[in-house]
């Protein structure tokens, strides 16, 4: 591999890693911080992608679609927490597994009933549709770089929210002892509802943003589900930076795995996860 | 008579089918220090939790500042200026010491800000040395200080200390009693549950002894000291 | 005898990634029946459906559902090759009649071939082999292939390689990525570095959409021509948009075929289901036609298995794709078209291979 | 004085920049109750954690009956006879008080891996469990699920469980905390009885109890041993007064 | 262990009775379906030993199921039936050895991390079978002849015969159930329950916790191997999909759906899961919608899973009885 190729692969790895972070960001919040095992994360991602498709077709503009989609998914998240999740906090965590599995099936079928089972594409907005020439044969789409930039902004915002705002402290406190948080006069139920909605919105937002490059198809949610959990867990549950670092590591492992050991490329991510967790049984950035 | 801050009337509470509180009347007025005593398992904690909304009483009434709030959400009751230091500590192990304190900070119901972050650290210098440590990494006594400090950060009108000196070294325990006396002067009421009866009666205005979920005695510290056999009978203390 | 309805078991994906394909096949099949006035080869039809979920682990059980629970006379399925292989096994064991309306695994009409197993679609080998010749003719010397690492992808590449290298070309590198991974960027970079004359790929569905878009976005489309087995651009053009414009693929069906049967079929399909048919619908339609040929010969008496099979084997199917017959191994002997993406259509450019028959390696029948 | 059972030799433990234990040495003899006092955060629990194996030391040695056990796992130390209780209640919340103790007793039996016999049927386990509950004053609450015991009762259970493992060394981290006066009294009597044939390390802030039962007292401050000696010496020590006990009795107004 | 749920003997015996006579009355198809349910029940019970009783939530249990299934394929000669004496122990041993090796690694982690490392190892095993020709690659492999049991020249059992097979499965189901029941009330069972409740305290009480967990993990793996062996024999088909995470997820769902920590619950979960699918998929193309809705309803309305339903009913009936 010559140097240019290597550098481009490195760029690929970083870009993929950032994309993974984007997709996993909502899970970092709902699972990592709030401690809810949410298998339906992929469904929210899919929901977002389909919203991007449907709303872009309707409005003709991806950005307008994203704004509408954000409002819609926040509402859905709010209602789900209110109607379902909030009633399970006192129960065994595995009940959440069951609930969210049921939701996957329900969402997938609702999608099928409303939009059908076809594969769809979403156009990249005109202003971002250019490409940058990297080598004589290869160029890089601006939209991907735009996505990466959004991911970085998102990571910083999330880190700030979780680590440096009182709201962030309350959310984290809520995951360890809700009763005590209440005793401090904090309406943790409402906070959880809002944060859950935010998590759902992030997942959907990821789907909307990724729709133009990933296309929109049935079952797309299930495909990202496992990798999202891998990102959150390798990073250390509850750590935003951890998730970012983990996502980048996975990006590297996956990209160079495909190049260096193509026959075992499917294994690399799991090898990485097993290795990391055996080395650090609580993820890279174990939180206090 | 000064304002009634917290009041329970004919309270009956259950855990599942076991009947724990059998018709308890209990009143906390402004600026009052009340000792709540009883052997292990007599229902002291249950009484507190019933008044704070963590346990929904099956019969009876809970009023906060004169307003009936039986079974209201705990955060609504807490917002009325009631702070709680639960037994067995309620620190957030995944938050740093600093965060444990800051997340709770709020002015009192009348806008008072007597207790600030700085003042809490002054009171418990030990905490100041451990600010970035996770709550879960503190020693037992340090956790206890943190819980008390955090409760004070909410600038309450009623402070409930459920075995708050458990695990505190004698010097610090004394510091706690000192604080209780001090804040009483500013009009803050305190409910103290503590195994050290001597210490409790030395600072309390009024004492309540629970036996099997019923009030077995209510009276001033002087009255209680005058009847040592009561202490012996209900608390097993010599 | 005539009173008994023929029991047709449809084992197709109705949920998951391939749901649209399963629906198209079902529609195609039902259209043929409707055109026969609700009858197939003169017999009334009763349907039994099972969602195979494209889950190979459940395949034998799902097939048994139709065979043992519903006692179907014919099993029609499916899309996913792994599932179809399992169905073929069950069919061999239970001697049930099986018509495969899509799955292209070479084995089905290779080592697994049997008198009671038919296919109305294609073998993985067929379009790929045809493409090998096309690319060699177009003077490409060094080619890189890329596909998912599963047997259907590997068979497509093998078919392509066989023809292409026989015609003097060279496959400089075979790239595979784990199924169903769709992160293509590392491979695109590698292709850009290798600078082959052209690239041959096998992808389908959502993966195909993403690949074609990524390939174009990486700027490779203009410098290194992309070819593929037809599924790359079938049922996906809407989603691929401009990125697919001009791509060349080979398949046994195309848009703009000048065949009366096709025009009639398209019109009927469009009016019945309010959407345009695709190759999957054609394959489903032909599955019905093939079975109809058999039924007609035995007048609906499915008990006469030998006669039924014989009639099916020797039938000439008047398919929208053009007439075809069956090889000894029961795979269509059919024209493979070279198609070019124009607008939202896979326009036929030429016949890439005339009456191409699968070599049916390993078939003893 | 009985034989030397457990000894710490220059134990230290760092937490990042903080030396929670620094060069701590201490002897525990059979038949002797050794109390460890010190302000909050002095490193008392850390010392117990080092002795019990819950934490690995950053330096120093632990000798058990003359053998260096610094590298042993906690379970191995426990099986060898070093039992401990926790400052933060650490019980099996889903089991009844009795089952908590029976499980503790089971850890002593070599048949722990027997698969084809009912655990319920072992009389010796049952009686060991019941005896432990009795000793800790919890017999009346035998069949209550631990999670629903009151705080003080859970503290009693904490002690009962250690007792059920019949250890020869007892490391007790604030056993009296959370207990009422009567239970404390009971516990003090129990400690006195046990100290006859056990080596006991007692960390406790209840001074009345400590001075009533201790044979030797070690005072720790900021991870180091400040002073060690018989109770009278400690009571008299100015350094100890200042660091830990504070001035005269404050509680009488 | 205090809440050890007492299932009335009568209910168990009645179930056993129904199961024993079912093939005499039920159709072939439904007997086969029941066979499959019983296999899944064995699988689910094996996982329940980990999830419900030891607190180890494994998300890679299908690996051991699949390894045993592949062992059947690899051990079976191509043109003859293999001997049950050989294949069953070989399959179970393969699963147990795999569980032992995997357990050595994964049991060092806890909680959610444990869930994910088990997933990681299972996925690696999945890719080994999927990407290598070892087990027929992505298309899977077939066993041409099912195992048989012979003594001398006489064939006692032929697993190719659906009837024989049914009773072999039933026998193994009962054996598994009884074995686990005995195990759970043995000292080992109590120790596992202790680990679930408070692992740290178990350690400080002197239990070699790692060894106990490993023992539990290997036993569960071996039992999953029994199920895997049976699954391979039922359809004679083994594909990498049976060790995918979907399969691990499905069996986990069965356990939770039925009610964790009750062996009957695991079996009920397996039964419900398969039967609901069967019923719903016959109704509509969108059957997964119904399935999902039912699952959501079960979680919301039946804490403790389906197994708690029987208890609720009983309480309701008994309560009603005493009032009247
Ligand atoms: N969550 C619960 N579920 C069931 N019973 C409970 C629960 N919590 C406490 N109890 C029972 O209620 C009774 C009163 O408990 P409570 O905690 O109020 O006692 P307490 O007076 O605070 O005792 P202590 O001094 O030990 O803290 C006890 O018998 C206890 O076992
Ligand atoms: N895991 C840890 N990480 C960082 N610091 C720790 C950790 N555990 C304990 N410490 C610190 O080490 C010091 C000693 O703690 P230790 O628990 O031994 O105190 P202690 O003497 O038992 O105090 P107390 O009487 O309050 O229980 C404390 O300052 C504590 O904050
Ligand atoms: Mg209490
Ligand atoms: Mg301590």
Q: Render pLDDT for A151-205 as a digit per residue (tens, 0 to 9).
A: 999 999 999 999 999 999 999 999 899 999 999 999 999 999 999 999 999 999 9
CA of B194 to the centre of ligand 3 (A): 9
Indicate which residue's Cα is closest to atom 16 of ligand 2. D43
Q: What is the DSSP letter of A216?
A: B
Counting atoms of ligand 2 from 1, which one is nearest the CA of D223? 14
- Neighbouring chains of C at 3+ CB pairs under 8 Å are A, E
- Going from the Cα of D149 to the center of ligand 3, the distance in angstroms, rounded, reads 10
Question: Does E205 sit within 8 Å of D90, measured CB to CB?
Answer: no
Q: What is the largest CA-CA distance in chain B?
A: 49
Q: Kindly give the number of the ligand 2 atom that is closest to the alpha carbon of B143.
A: 26
pLDDT, mean of residues B152-172: 91
Question: Which residue is closest in CA terms to ligand 1's atom 3?
Answer: D148
The pLDDT, as a whole number, for residue B154 is 94
Average pLDDT over all residues of chain C: 92
Question: E244 CB contacts (<8 Å, ≥6 apart)?
Answer: C57, E62, E126
CB A214 to CB C210 under 8 A?
A: yes
Q: Which residues of D touch B169 (CB under 8 A)?
A: 38-40, 205, 244
DSSP H helices, chain D, are 44-52, 74-80, 97-106, 123-135, 151-164, 181-194, 207-213, 231-236, 238-240
**Residue in C48, C57, C68, C104 to test binding to E, most E beta-carbons within 10 Å:** C57
Which residue is listed with tokens 């064991």?
C93
Per-residue model confidence (pLDDT) at position B88 = 80
> Hey, what are A165's tokens?
């705002």
Instruction: Kindly state if the Cβ of D87 falls inside 6 Å of ligand 2.
Output: yes
C and D touch with 3+ CB pairs <8 Å, answer no
Q: To the nearest whole angstrom, how far is the Cα of E26 from the nearest Cα of chain A?
A: 31
Question: Which tens digit of pLDDT belongs to each residue from C42-63?
Answer: 899 999 999 999 888 899 989 9
- The answer, yes or no, to whether residue C292 has pLDDT greater than 90, is yes
**Domain final residue, candidates D129, D148, D166:** D166
Determine the residue of B12, B39, B42 to mutate for testing ligand 1's pocket, defined as the one with the most ligand atoms within 8 A of the Cβ atom: B42
Chain A, nearest residue to C14 by Cα: A117
Mean pLDDT to the nearest integer, D155-159: 93
Beta strands (DSSP E) in A103-210 are 131-133, 139-141
CA D6/CA C294 separation, integer angstroms: 91
According to the model, what pLDDT value does residue E226 have?
97
Closest ligand 1 atom to the C-alpha of D152? 26
CATH of the domain at B207: 3.40.50.300
**Nearest CA-CA distance, residue A63 and chain C, Å:** 19
Query: Ligand 1 centre from B90 Cα, in Å?
Result: 17
Hey, which chains touch B, using 3+ CB pairs under 8 Å? A, D
Q: Is the CB of D44 under 6 A from ligand 2?
A: yes
Task: Please report which confidence band the pLDDT of residue E136 belongs to, taking 50, 70 and 90 as the band edges.
Answer: confident
Same domain for D95 and D16:
no
Is there a contact between E198 and D78 if contact means CB atoms under 8 Å apart? no
Average confidence score pLDDT of chain A: 92
If asked whether residues D197 and D158 sit together in one domain, one would say no
Question: What was the pLDDT predicted at D110?
Answer: 66
Read off the pTM: 0.93
If one compares B111 and D64, the residue with the highest pLDDT of the two is D64
In eight-state DSSP terms, residue B3 is P
Decide if A212 contacts B127 (C-beta within 8 A): no
- State how far the alpha carbon of B122 is from the alpha carbons of B186, C116, C337, in Å: 19, 89, 85
Question: Are chains B and D in contact at 3+ CB pairs closer than 8 Å?
Answer: yes
- The candidate with the shortest Cα–Cα distance to B62, out of B32, B26, B86, B36, is B26
Give residue-wise pLDDT tens across range C125-171. 999 999 999 999 999 999 999 999 888 899 999 999 999 999 999 99
For range A254-283, the mean pLDDT: 89
Which protein residue has the closest C-alpha to ligand 2 atom 6?
Answer: B137
B38 lines ligand 1 (CB under 6 A): yes
Given CB atoms, is A6 within the 8 Å cutoff of chain C?
A: no
Cβ atoms of E279 and E288 closer than 8 Å: no
Chain E positions touching D109 (Cβ under 8 A) are 187
Percentage of residues in chain C having pLDDT higher than 90: 77
- Name the 3-class secondary structure at C180: coil
Residue C61 contacts A where some CB pair is shorter than 8 Å: no
Predicted pLDDT of residue E121: 92
Question: Ligand 4 is a single-atom ion; what residues have CB below 5 A from it?
Answer: B 139-140; D 45, 87
Residue A91: closest C-alpha in chain E? E303
CA C87 to chain CA mean position, Å:
16
- d(CA B69, CA B9) in angstroms, rounded, equals 12
pLDDT at C236 over 90: no
Question: How many Cβ atoms are within 10 Å of C277's Cβ, its own excluded?
Answer: 24
Q: Please give the structure tokens belonging to residue A52.
A: 């991007």
Query: Where does A11-121+141-279 sit in CATH, by number?
Result: 1.10.3470
Question: What pLDDT, on a 0 to 100 scale, did the predictor assign at position E323?
Answer: 36
Our answer on whether the CB atom of B86 is closer than 6 Å to any ligand 1 atom is no
Tell whether ligand 1 has an atom less than 6 A from the beta carbon of residue B50.
no
Mutate to test the interface with A, among E101, E137, E296, E298 (most CBs of A within 10 A): E296
Does residue D70 sit in the same domain as residue D193? yes
Distance between D208 CA and the closest CA of chain E, angstroms: 29
pLDDT at D1: 64
Q: Is residue D248 pLDDT above 80, yes or no?
A: no
What gap in Å lies between CA C108 and CA C85, rounded to an integer?
A: 6
Nearest CA to ligand 2 atom 25: D40
Structure tokens at B130: 């451990």
CB contact under 8 A, C177 and A265: yes
Mean pLDDT of E153-175: 87
Query: Which pLDDT belongs to residue D249?
Result: 44
Give whole-number Cα distances, A213 to A41, A62, D157, D251, in Å. Answer: 19, 13, 61, 74
**E5 has pLDDT over 60:** no
Provide Rg for chain C, Cα atoms: 20
Total domains present in chain D: 2
- List, edge to edge, every strand of the sheet that includes B158-162: B82-85, B158-162, B189-193, B33-37, B206-211, B214-219
- E289/A106 Cβ within 8 A: yes
Closest CA to D33 of D229, D196, D205, D159: D196
Report the alpha-carbon distance of residue C51 to residue C18 in Å, rounded: 11
CA distance C124 to C107: 10
Which helix (H) or strand (E) covers residue B151, if one does? helix B140-153
Closest-CA residue, ligand 1 atom 22, reads B45
Domain count, chain B: 1
Mean pLDDT, to the nearest integer, of B81-109? 92
Instruction: Show the domain range for B165.
Output: 4-235
Query: Are the C-beta atoms of A99 and A88 separated by less than 8 Å?
Result: yes
So what's the pLDDT on residue E137?
81
Q: Give the residues across from E151 on adjacent strands.
A: E154
Which of C19, C205, C209 is the closest to A112 by Cβ?
A: C19
Ligand 2: distance of its center to the CA of B144 in Å?
12
**Mean pLDDT score, E156-179:** 90
Nearest to E74 by CA among E231, E218, E232: E232
Q: How confident is the model at residue B238 (pLDDT cuts 50, 70, 90)?
A: low
- The rounded percent of chain B whose pLDDT value lies above 90 is 62
B178-197 residue pLDDT tens:
988 988 888 899 999 998 88
Q: Average of pLDDT values for A107-119?
A: 91
Q: What is the pLDDT of residue D112?
A: 55
CA dist D178 to D85, D87, E89, E263, Å?
A: 14, 10, 55, 39
Select the more confidently predicted residue: E313 or C248.
Answer: C248
What is the average per-residue pLDDT within D174-200? 89
Mean of the pLDDT values across residues E193-213? 94
The structure tokens 């904690």 sit at B45
- Judged by DSSP in three states, D166 sits in coil
Compare CB distances from C213 to A121, A256, A265 and report the shortest one's residue: A121
Distance CA B146, CA D228 (A): 30
Residues 6+ apart with CB under 8 A from E186: D114, D115, D116, D117, D118, D119
Name the token pair of E319.
Answer: 């309560």
Mean pLDDT of E185-211: 93
Ligand 1 touching residue B45 (CB < 6 A): yes
Cβ neighbours around A235 below 10 Å, total = 30
Cβ pair A66, A74 in contact under 8 A:
no
CA dist., res. C10 & res. E56, Å (int)? 41
Task: Give the pLDDT score at B1.
Answer: 53
Alpha-carbon distance of C199 to C172, in angstroms, equals 10
* Contact by Cβ (8 Å): A103, E296: yes
CB C115 within 8 Å of CB C309: yes
By alpha-carbon position, which residue is closest to atom 16 of ligand 1? B43
Selected residue with higher pLDDT from E78 and A12: A12
ipTM: 0.92
The beta-carbon neighbor of C81 closest among E139, E285, E287 is E139
Given a cut of 60, is residue E6 above it in pLDDT? no
Mark whether D177 and D250 lie in a shared domain: yes
Rounded CA separation D156/D135 (Å)? 10
Confidence grade of residue D253 (pLDDT, cut at 50, 70, 90): very low
Residue E246 token pair: 């979907």
D118: helix, strand or coil: coil
Chain E positions touching A34 (Cβ under 8 A) are none
Interface test mutation site (partner C, options E241, E243, E287, max chain C beta carbons within 10 A): E241
pLDDT of residue B17: 87
What pLDDT does E318 receive?
67
Residue numbers of the domain that contains D133:
90-166
pLDDT surpassing 80 at residue B224: yes
* Higher pLDDT pick, D17 / D160: D160
Q: Say how far apart CA D86 and CA E237 lie, in whole Å.
A: 55
Strands D59-64 and D67-68: antiparallel
| CA distance to partner chain B, nearest, from residue D118 (Å) | 31
Q: The domain spanning residue D193 has which CATH number?
A: 3.40.50.300
- Closest atom of ligand 2 relative to the D87 alpha carbon: 27
- Residue E83 pLDDT level (bands cut at 50, 70, 90): confident
Mean pLDDT of A92-102: 92
Q: What is the mean pLDDT of chain E?
A: 88
User: pLDDT band for position E288 (50/70/90)?
Assistant: very high
């Amino acid at each position: 591999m010559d140097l240019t190729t290597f550098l481009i692969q490195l760029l690929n790895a970083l870009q993929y890693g950032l994309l993974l972070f984007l997709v996993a960001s909502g899970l970092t919040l709902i699972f990592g911080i709030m401690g809810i095992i949410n298998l339906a994360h992929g469904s929210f991602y899919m929901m977002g992608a389909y919203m991007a498709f449907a709303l872009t077709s309707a409005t003709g503009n991806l950005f307008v679609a994203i704004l509408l989609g954000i409002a819609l998914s926040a509402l859905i998240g709010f209602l789900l927490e209110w109607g379902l999740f909030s009633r399970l906090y006192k129960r065994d965590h595995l009940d959440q597994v069951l609930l969210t599995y049921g939701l996957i099936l329900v969402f997938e079928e609702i999608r099928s009933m409303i939009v059908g089972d076809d594969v769809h594409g979403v156009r990249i907005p005109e202003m971002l549709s250019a490409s940058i020439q990297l080598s004589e044969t290869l160029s890089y789409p601006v939209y991907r770089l735009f996505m990466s930039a959004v991911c970085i902004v998102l990571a910083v915002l999330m880190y700030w929210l979780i680590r440096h705002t009182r709201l962030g402290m309350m959310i984290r406190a809520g995951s360890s002892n809700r009763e005590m948080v209440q005793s401090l006069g904090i309406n943790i139920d409402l906070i959880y509802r809002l944060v859950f909605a935010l998590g759902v919105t992030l997942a959907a937002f990821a789907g909307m943003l990724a729709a133009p490059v990933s296309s929109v198809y049935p079952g797309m949610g299930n495909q990202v589900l496992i990798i999202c959990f891998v990102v959150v867990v390798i990073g250390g549950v509850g750590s935003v930076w951890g998730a970012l670092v983990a996502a980048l590591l996975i990006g590297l492992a996956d990209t160079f795995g495909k190049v260096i050991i193509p026959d075992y490329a499917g294994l690399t991510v799991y090898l990485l996860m097993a290795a990391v967790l055996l080395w650090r049984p609580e993820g890279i950035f174990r939180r206090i | 008579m000064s304002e009634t801050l917290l009041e329970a009337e004919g309270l009956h509470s259950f855990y599942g089918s076991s009947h724990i509180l059998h018709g308890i009347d209990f009143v906390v007025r402004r600026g009052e220090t009340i000792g709540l005593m009883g052997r292990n398992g007599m229902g002291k904690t249950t009484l507190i939790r019933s008044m704070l909304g963590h346990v929904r009483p099956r019969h009876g009434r809970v009023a906060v500042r004169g307003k009936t709030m039986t079974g209201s959400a705990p955060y609504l009751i807490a917002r009325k200026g009631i702070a709680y230091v639960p037994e067995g500590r309620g620190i957030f192990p995944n938050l740093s010491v600093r965060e444990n304190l800051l997340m709770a900070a709020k002015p009192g119901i009348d806008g008072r800000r007597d207790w600030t972050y700085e003042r809490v650290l002054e009171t418990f210098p030990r905490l100041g040395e451990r600010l970035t440590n996770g709550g879960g990494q503190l020693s037992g006594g340090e956790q206890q200080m943190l819980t008390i400090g955090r409760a004070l950060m909410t600038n309450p009108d009623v402070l409930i200390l459920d075995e708050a000196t458990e695990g505190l070294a004698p010097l610090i325990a004394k510091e706690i009693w000192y604080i209780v006396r001090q804040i009483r002067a500013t009009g803050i009421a305190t409910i103290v549950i503590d195994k050290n009866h001597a210490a409790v009666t030395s600072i309390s205005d009024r004492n309540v002894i629970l036996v099997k979920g019923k009030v077995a005695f209510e009276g001033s510290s002087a009255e209680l000291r005058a009847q040592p056999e009561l202490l012996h009978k209900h608390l097993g203390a010599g | 005898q005539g009173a008994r309805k023929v029991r047709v078991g449809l084992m197709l994906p109705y949920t998951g990634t391939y749901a649209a394909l399963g629906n198209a096949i079902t529609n195609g099949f039902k259209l043929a029946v409707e055109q026969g006035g609700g009858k197939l080869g003169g017999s009334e039809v009763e349907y039994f459906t099972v969602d195979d979920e494209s889950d190979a682990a459940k395949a034998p059980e799902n097939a048994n559902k139709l065979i043992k629970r519903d006692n179907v006379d014919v099993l029609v399925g499916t899309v996913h090759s792994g599932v179809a292989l399992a169905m073929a096994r069950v069919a061999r064991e239970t001697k049930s009649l099986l018509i495969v309306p899509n799955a292209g695994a070479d084995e089905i009409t290779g080592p697994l071939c049997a008198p009671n197993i038919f296919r109305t679609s294609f073998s993985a080998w067929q379009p790929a082999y045809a493409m090998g010749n096309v690319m060699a003719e177009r003077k490409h010397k060094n080619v890189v292939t890329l596909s998912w690492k599963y047997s259907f992808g590997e068979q497509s590449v093998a078919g392509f390689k066989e023809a292409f290298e026989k015609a003097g070309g060279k496959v400089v590198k075979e790239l595979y990525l784990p199924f169903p991974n769709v992160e293509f960027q590392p491979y695109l970079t590698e292709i850009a570095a290798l600078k082959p004359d052209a690239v041959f790929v096998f992808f389908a569905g959502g993966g195909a959409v993403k690949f074609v878009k990524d390939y174009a976005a990486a700027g490779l489309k203009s410098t290194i021509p992309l070819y593929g087995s037809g599924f790359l651009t079938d049922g996906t053009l809407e989603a691929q948009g401009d990125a697919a414009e001009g791509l060349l693929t080979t398949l046994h069906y195309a848009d703009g075929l000048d065949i009366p049967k096709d025009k009639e079929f398209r019109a009927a399909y469009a009016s019945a289901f309010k959407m345009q048919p695709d190759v999957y619908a054609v394959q489903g339609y032909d599955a019905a036609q093939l079975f109809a040929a058999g039924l007609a010969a035995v007048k609906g008496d499915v008990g006469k298995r030998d006669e039924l099979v014989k009639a099916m084997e020797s039938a000439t199917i008047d398919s929208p794709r053009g007439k075809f017959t069956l090889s000894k191994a029961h795979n269509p002997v059919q024209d493979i078209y070279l198609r070019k993406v124009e607008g939202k259509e896979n326009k036929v450019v030429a016949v890439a291979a005339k009456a191409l028959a699968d070599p049916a390696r390993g078939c003893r029948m | 004085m009985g034989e030397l059972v457990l000894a710490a030799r220059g134990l230290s433990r760092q937490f990042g920049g903080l030396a929670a234990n620094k060069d701590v040495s201490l002897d525990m003899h059979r038949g002797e109750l050794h109390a460890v006092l010190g302000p909050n955060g002095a490193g008392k629990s850390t010392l117990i954690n080092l002795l019990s194996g819950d934490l690995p030391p950053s330096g120093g040695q632990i000798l058990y009956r003359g053998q260096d056990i610094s590298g042993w796992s906690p379970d191995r130390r426990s099986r060898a006879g070093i039992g401990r209780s926790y400052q933060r209640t650490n019980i099996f919340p889903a089991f009844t008080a009795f089952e908590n103790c029976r499980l503790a007793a089971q850890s002593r039996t070599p048949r722990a891996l027997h698969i084809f016999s009912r655990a319920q049927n072992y009389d010796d386990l049952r009686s060991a469990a019941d005896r432990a509950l009795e000793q800790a004053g919890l017999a009346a609450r035998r069949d209550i699920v631990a999670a629903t015991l009151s705080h003080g009762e859970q503290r009693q259970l904490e002690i009962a469980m250690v007792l059920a493992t019949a250890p020869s060394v007892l490391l007790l981290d604030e056993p009296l905390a959370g207990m009422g006066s009567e239970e404390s009294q009971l516990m003090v009597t129990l400690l006195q009885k046990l100290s006859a044939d056990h080596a006991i390390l007692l960390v406790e802030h209840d001074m009345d109890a400590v001075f009533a039962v201790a044979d030797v007292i070690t005072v720790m401050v900021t991870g180091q041993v400040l002073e060690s000696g018989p109770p009278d010496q400690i009571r008299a020590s100015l350094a100890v007064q200042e660091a830990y006990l504070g001035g005269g009795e404050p509680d009488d107004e | 262990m205090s809440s050890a749920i007492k299932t009335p003997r009568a209910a168990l015996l009645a179930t056993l009775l129904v199961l024993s006579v079912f093939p005499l009355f039920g159709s072939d198809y439904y007997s086969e379906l029941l066979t499959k349910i019983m296999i899944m029940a064995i699988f689910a019970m094996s996982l329940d030993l980990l999830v419900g009783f030891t607190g180890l939530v494994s998300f890679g249990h299908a690996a051991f199921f699949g390894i045993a299934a592949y062992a059947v394929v690899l051990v079976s000669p191509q043109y003859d039936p293999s001997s049950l004496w050989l294949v069953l122990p070989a399959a179970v041993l393969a699963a147990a050895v795999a569980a032992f090796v995997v357990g050595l690694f994964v049991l060092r982690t806890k909680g959610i991390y444990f869930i994910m490392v088990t997933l990681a190892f299972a996925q690696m095993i999945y890719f080994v079978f999927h990407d290598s020709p070892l087990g027929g690659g992505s298309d899977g492999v077939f066993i041409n002849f099912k195992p048989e049991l012979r003594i001398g020249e006489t064939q006692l059992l032929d697993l190719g015969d659906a009837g024989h097979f049914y009773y072999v499965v039933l026998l193994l189901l009962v054996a598994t159930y009884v074995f686990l029941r005995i195990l759970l009330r043995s000292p080992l069972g109590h120790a596992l329950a202790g680990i679930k409740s408070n692992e740290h305290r178990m350690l400080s009480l002197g239990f070699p916790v790692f060894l106990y967990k490993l023992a539990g993990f290997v036993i569960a793996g071996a039992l999953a191997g029994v199920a895997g062996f049976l699954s391979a024999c039922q359809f004679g088909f083994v594909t990498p999909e049976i060790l995918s995470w979907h399969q691990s997820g499905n069996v986990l769902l069965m356990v939770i759906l039925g009610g964790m920590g009750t062996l009957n619950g695991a079996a009920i979960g397996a039964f419900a899961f398969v039967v609901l699918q069967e019923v719903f998929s016959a109704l509509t193309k969108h059957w997964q919608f119904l399935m999902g809705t039912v699952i959501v309803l079960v979680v919301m309305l039946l804490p403790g899973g389906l197994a708690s339903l029987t208890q609720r009913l009983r309480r309701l009936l008994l309560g009603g009885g005493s009032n009247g």
